Amino acid sequence: MKYKAELVEGFWRYVERQGMLAALDRSKAGARPPVFATANADLNIIRSPAGTSEQLAKLLKTIPRRSRHRWFRSMTSSQALAQSVFGNLIVHNQLGLLAKIKTESGEPLIESCPVSAELEYGVNYLGEPRQTDLDVLLRNANGYRVAIECKLTEPEVGTCSRPRMKRTDPNYEQEQCNGDYICQLGRKVPCSLTSLGVKYWQYIPEIFSWDSGKVYEPASLAMDFAWRWWRGCAVAGGVRWPKRAGCT
């Protein structure tokens, strides 16, 4: 059985065991994950059974209801997962636990203990056509920042939009890109997004010591994990704090 199918099956067993079927928008198990009814969306956030009403209120405020994604109510929601994990760490003053986590190579996940964390951090300084939010932004006492992207069942973490443009899309002839970091279609800059005013390449060279004047063929930056990863680093690097950044 594949990962997602096993996960969904486990979710259905959980809601049945916890007597939560009545809180869902439908009570029949199947390939579709459990989805809480609109009025019961808060139940999709894991909370301590011993928590106080004040702690629950603080937990719910870590992501305002107006900022919830369309399918926040689904038990496969990565946003609900992020709030369950990082929201509780914030409320219970346990962010220091993150400093104890090690990567697959055995190195610390983050450089030092975080002093604060913000969920759904608004990114408005990269010049993107549509503002996006970072799942979690950690700030350490030494100014080090960590941008965190949370995924649960998504098959990919996101790619650059320009290589995926279709011929029927508006502005295809002006903005389409083949995935290489090289001037194309008569543009004067290698990145199609740079020509639109997006500032990724204002931060990327400084963070990674990459030469923005160099040609990259193919540009693995545009593909799947790499693109989302270096974009997160650009987000962390662009925050108006001391110029040290990290991402995971």
pLDDT in tens, 12-21: 999 999 999 9
Higher pLDDT, 31 or 76: 76
pLDDT exceeds 60 at position 166:
yes
Cβ proximity of 136 and 117 under 8 Å: yes
pLDDT of residue 221: 53
Residue 240 — pLDDT band, cuts 50, 70, 90?
Answer: very low
pLDDT of amino acid 168: 93
Quick: pLDDT tens for 52-89: 999 999 999 999 999 999 999 999 999 999 999 999 99
Q: CA 71 to CA 145: how far, in whole Å?
A: 29
Domain boundaries, the chain: 3-148, 162-247
Q: Which residue has the higher pLDDT, 206 or 242?
A: 206
Is a pLDDT exceeding 80 seen at residue 209? no
In the chain, beta strands by DSSP E = 114-123, 132-140, 145-148, 246-247
More confident residue, 18 or 130: 18
pLDDT reported for residue 246: 45
Give me the count of residues in the chain.
Answer: 248
- Count of helices and strands (H, E) across the chain: 8, 4
Secondary structure class of 35 (helix, strand, coil): strand
CB-neighbour burial class of residue 236 (10 A; exposed 0-12, middle 13-18, buried 19+) = buried
